[in-house]
Amino acid sequence: MRNAEGAETTVQFFFEDDMVCSLESMLSGCPSGLELITMEACQLRVLDRDTVLTKFQSHATMPSELLALTQQRLVEYINLYTIAIAQTPTQRYQAML
pTM higher than 0.75, yes or no? no
Distance CA 15, CA 29 (A): 26
- pLDDT tens-place values along the chain, 97 residues long: 676 677 777 777 888 888 888 888 888 988 888 888 888 898 888 888 899 889 888 988 988 888 898 899 889 888 888 877 777 878 878 887 8
In-domain check, residue 42: yes
Contact by Cβ (8 Å): 26, 49: yes
Contact by Cβ (8 Å): 72, 80: no
In-domain check, residue 64: yes
In-domain check, residue 7: no
- State how many domains the chain has: 1
Contact by Cβ (8 Å): 8, 2: yes
- Identify the H or E element spanning 27: helix 23-28
- Which residues 6+ apart lie within 8 Å of 86 measured at CB? none
The pLDDT of residue 71 is 92
Would you give the end-to-end CA distance of the chain in angstroms? 22
In-domain check, residue 5: no
Domain that holds residue 69: 23-96
The pLDDT of residue 4 is 66
Distance CA 26, CA 48 (A): 9
The pLDDT of residue 12 is 78
